[in-house]
Amino acid sequence: MCRELVARQLDEQIVARFPVGRRLRALDVGMGDGAQALRLARAGHEVTGVERDAAALAAARAATATEPEGIRSRMRIVEGDGRDTGVHFPPGSFDVVLCHGVLPYVDEPDALLAGLGRVLAPGGLLSLVVRNADALAMGPALRGDWSGALAAFGTDTYRDPSGAVARAHRLDATTAALAGIAAPLRAWYGVRVFTGAAVPPAGGADFEALLAAEERAGRTDPYRAVASLLHVCGARD
């Protein structure tokens, strides 16, 4: 569900920023299994994905291999760390840069952001997805874990589903960081405002209604401020 919501929000920003039909140069840092990168390649864009996890790389390559030649030719997969963008790409190489779910896991998020800003072209769009530090108590509370909810107040870290400790981010600090790399905030959305542990199966009427409710809440105050995730978009004008 998160992917569908973020994809719709990203499409909205791309359509608002770039002429219809323009083939964009896109970079997906921490591409995972390649779902977002392939979606952009299917839309006609030239896409480079960077990933260091072996299992994710294998999944991305396998998914790309099933696509028609025209789409495969627009996909490039680079094995590497997102912090090493300066090694792989010259400044201003990409019109759209994605970094979804990566910042919580890096030791030096400011250095990673600086690298993303370096490869962003003039007029480019930067899309970040991070955990919302101002709503860390919501997840445990929705599961009925009241001790966990109380412990989450005032912290900037959380345990992901695998049990790993990760970092959460606050909107004001992220906004300041975007200004610091000359890609000031253009728009932000909440992702997963209402969704707790139970999510209806994809494709059903209940799932479509949930998507519609989440999409509406993710762009509406005060709901978006308590979303589990923040989708933050900066632009270099």
What are 82-113's pLDDT values in tens digits? 888 878 899 999 999 999 999 999 989 999 99
DSSP element (H, E) containing 211? helix 205-217
Task: Provide the 10 A C-beta neighbour count for residue 162.
Answer: 6
Place of tokens 């770039």: 18
Mean pLDDT of 26-52: 97
- What percent of the chain stands above pLDDT 70? 97
What does the pLDDT read at residue 24?
Answer: 98
Question: Quick one: fold of 2-235?
Answer: Rossmann fold (3.40.50)
What is the token pair recorded at 60?
């991305």
Query: What mean pLDDT value characterizes the chain?
Result: 94
What does the pLDDT read at residue 123?
Answer: 97
pLDDT of 196 higher than 80: no
Q: Where are the beta strands (DSSP E) in the chain?
A: 25-29, 46-51, 75-79, 94-100, 120-131, 157-159, 165-167, 185-191, 229-235
CB 125 within 8 A of CB 14: yes
pLDDT in tens, 151-174: 999 999 999 888 999 999 999 999
pLDDT of 204 higher than 90: no
Domain residues of the chain, as ranges? 2-235
CB 77 within 8 A of CB 57: yes
What does the pLDDT read at residue 200?
Answer: 61
Residue type, 214: E
pLDDT of 121 higher than 70: yes
